Chains A and B, each alone.
Chain A
Amino acid sequence: MIKIRQFIHSFGWPRIIIGLFLLSLFIIAPFVGVKISTSLSDTLIRFGMNGVMVLAMVPMIHSGCGLNFGLPLGIIAGLLGGTLSIQFGFTGGTSFLMAIILATPFGILFGWGYGKLLNRVKGGEMMIATYVGFSSVAFMCMMWLLLPYNHPTMVWGYTGSGLRTTISTEGFYLHALNNFLQFRIGEKFLFPTGMILFFALMAFLVWAFLHTKTGTAMTAVGSNPVFARASGINIDRTRTMSVIMSTWLGAIGILVYQQSFGFIQLYMGPFYMALPAVSAILIGGASVNKASIANVVIGTFLFQGILTMTPSVMNSIIHTDMSEVIRIVVSNGMILYALTRKAEVSR
């Protein structure tokens, strides 16, 4: 009994409620005519789409920079990579690879500047990160209009300049990962092997990095800066490096998202993309200053599971689509819960 109570305490009530909620959705689903195989397949696809962006939270949480509300900055690096790759005329699978390569310098550059900024505002990172994300998205809105793109599939037809709000990735990197080694079980269940493998690769890289000397130093900076300084770790440099990693992962994350989703969303598209990623990792059991790869996997699966299951199941039961409201309440409720936990704040 005590063990159960300890488990509940360490795992946190909100996570248990969310887990049970998802479980009940899966149990109800067959009775209201929703196919489990389709839902599971959708959940897996959405897991792959969002996994890397959730992974982008890990390095910054480790180095004590808090939740990466500035994810839109990384996303912008990814958008630049994607659009440039199309602009330079790459097609098919190559365009995906090139998008990653082209996004990398932007990710590093933005991450470096963002990291330097966050080093000057220690203690107030999260609020500033949020607004760095917002203002960079707003700034890029102007840039998408002004930058000299001229590839006919991307610019507005009647003026010939200025990028469109949504650009199709068809013919470029649409399903570049999804279709790799994809297989089917039964009629409805599709397993997006390539995308899951790519996520696994990224997760492994982050995991391996966190176990190198630099990675351990990062964790030390996050858990006890005074101790880290005493043992000769350059705190600011380590923090900047973690921010660069987070930003770069955000850039890769959005590219993975786009190749499955089918569209590049520019302008205000990346505006609120940080919140789902933040709440996903928190649902997985992470806190403001502690996160692991397992948190990412569990959290993304639970969060995306709820997102895929609620519309279909709720629609069949009460003929109303309340999924949007549930999404807002669940994701923000989870962030609030994490922000208000005292024990972890003082650690």
Chain B
Amino acid sequence: MSKLRETKGQKLFNVIEKNAVPILFIIICAIGIPFSGYSLNYLGQEIITRIGRNSFLIIALLIPIMAGMGLNFGMTLGAMAGQIGLIFITDWKIGGIPGMILAMIISTPISAILGWMCGKILNMAKGREMVTSYIIGFFINGVYQLIVLYGMGPVIPIKDPALVLPRGYGIRNTVNLIGIRRSMDNVLAIRIFGLSIPVLTLVVIAMLCFFIIWFKKTKLGQDMRAVGQDMEVARAAGIKVEHTRIVSIVISTILAGYGMIIYLQNMGTLNTYNSHMQIGMFSIAALLVGGATVNKASIGNVFLGVTLFHVMFIVSPMAGKNLIGQAQLGEFFRVFVSYGVITLALVLYEIRKRRARYKTGRLLAQDQADMKEVDV
């Protein structure tokens, strides 16, 4: 197929438009950093901590995007499974790395079942996967509350009184994860230029990145990309479309569960009824800030996104305080930016989809015009 001829201005516009979100964020950060008054050393330390804390969760989003199912707002399901695992190991008083591994083992079947269910439902709602997965998150949150707030105690035995609400059943609003707090970050931690680096966590994240790269090359990964490109063509090529889509969601949910455990071991406390709801939004916003779109995301987007998004997150309250005199304004600003960036990315994706169709039309017209010239 021949290429569409465009002027230089159009090309430049395309480049800027394609990277609109990261460029916008670089500008926000460039303005915010000096006004916040934070030292670069402090910012560097915070960014390293947050890369270790959040990357795993964000990488979990990549596989459903590959399979053409959009941003997996259902990653909260995995987060809930991870939290259930953490509640159990806290109750059994198993700390450190063994505790984390046990929590992951507990979370795996729960994530798998939830992911399978989510995939089944999403197959019934093709074309509106995102809004459906978003509502599934809310729905399962209700079930999670039913289990954790009412079931844990009378039905599922919880022995530790520090975990249970004073009324005798249900888990407290905050659970202290003292047993596994920073247990992964502190293994092999080294200091370079006064920055402490959680080596093991970063190694685990690097391994996950290699897994994703390897996975893309496997038969299953190729199938997923085919399904993501065009479901009907993939079906004609003999790929089990529904099955592939379910597998992609299951993998994503299981990874999100592990990611949540890594996230919470860094935080050290679990907000039993809130942590999982926020994490979906923040992970998705961070990925989009990194330049990912609804149908295309890479590992590079993840790390760029974590860095930019969290710099904005750290500096905005202080910048707001120093600029206008109200720290609260900065806090509202970062909430607004998190939601705004998701909105912007979704809108740009839809507009681009339309423009791509329009471009194909123009290409066809151009080809026909060329042919006419040859005729003359």
Contacts and interface: CB of A to CB of B under 8 A. Distances in A.
B81 to A, nearest CB: 18
Contacts of A141: 332, 335-336
A213 B134 CA distance: 37
Nearest to A330: B142
A135 B336 contact: yes
A30 interface: no
Nearest to A333: B139
Contacts of A135: 336, 339-340, 342-343
B138 A128 contact: no
B135 interface: yes
A145 B340 CA distance: 19
A335 interface: yes
B350 A336 contact: no
A339 B346 contact: no
B329 interface: yes
A145 B326 contact: yes
Interface residues of B, number: 38
Contacts of A170: none
Contact of A128 (B125, B127, B347): B347
A137 to B, nearest CB: 8
A329 B340 contact: no
A226 to B, nearest CB: 16
A72 B339 CA distance: 14
Nearest to B345: A131
Contact of B150 (A128, A322, A329, A333): A322
B299 to A, nearest CB: 25
B128 interface: yes
Interface in A136-165: 138-139, 141-142, 145-146, 162
A336 B136 contact: yes
A124 interface: yes
Given A328-B145, A336-B121, A145 B128 contact: no
Contact of B139 (A123, A142, A326, A328): A328
B343 A335 contact: no
B83 interface: no
Interface string A114-141: 0001001111101110111011001101
Contacts of B347: 117, 120-121, 128
B127 A339 contact: no
Interface in B333-360: 333, 335-336, 338-340, 342-343, 346-347, 349-351, 354
A215 B125 CA distance: 29
B150 A325 contact: yes
A132 B136 CA distance: 20
A329 B328 CA distance: 33
Given A128-B346, A325-B142, A325-B149, A339 B135 contact: yes
B342 A131 contact: yes
A146 B125 contact: no
B203 interface: no
A130 B328 CA distance: 24
B143 interface: yes
Contacts of B349: 124
Max chain B C-beta neighbours (<10 A), residue from A120, A162, A339, A342: A339
B124 A342 contact: yes
Nearest to B346: A128
A315 interface: no
B131 interface: yes
Max chain A C-beta neighbours (<10 A), residue from B143, B326, B343: B343
A332 interface: yes
B329 A336 contact: no
A131 B124 contact: no
Nearest to A322: B150
Max chain A C-beta neighbours (<10 A), residue from B149, B326, B336: B336
Contacts of B333: 142
A297 B165 CA distance: 40
Nearest to B139: A332
B351 A121 contact: yes
B141 A146 contact: no
Contacts of B339: 131, 134-135, 138
A126 B326 contact: no
A23 interface: no
B346 A131 contact: yes
B275 to A, nearest CB: 17
Nearest to A139: B336
A45 to B, nearest CB: 25
Given A121-B347, A123-B127, A134-B339, A145 B332 contact: yes
A335 to B, nearest CB: 5
A332 B131 contact: no
Nearest to B132: A339
Given A145-B326, A145-B329, A127 B143 contact: no
Nearest to A320: B150
Nearest to A121: B350
Contacts of B149: 325
B350 A124 contact: yes
Contacts of A130: 131, 134
Nearest to B73: A127
26 contacts: A69-B131, A117-B347, A121-B346, A122-B350, A127-B134, A134-B343, A135-B336, A135-B342, A138-B336, A138-B338, A138-B340, A141-B335, A145-B326, A145-B332, A162-B326, A322-B146, A324-B145, A327-B142, A328-B142, A329-B143, A329-B146, A332-B135, A335-B135, A336-B139, A339-B128, A345-B128
Given A122-B350, A131-B339, A325-B146, 7 more contacts: A69-B131, A123-B127, A124-B350, A126-B131, A320-B150, A335-B135, A336-B121
Kindly list the 9 A-B residue pairs having the minimum CB-CB distance in the complex, ordered from nearest. A328-B142, A121-B350, A138-B336, A329-B142, A332-B139, A340-B124, A135-B339, A131-B343, A141-B332
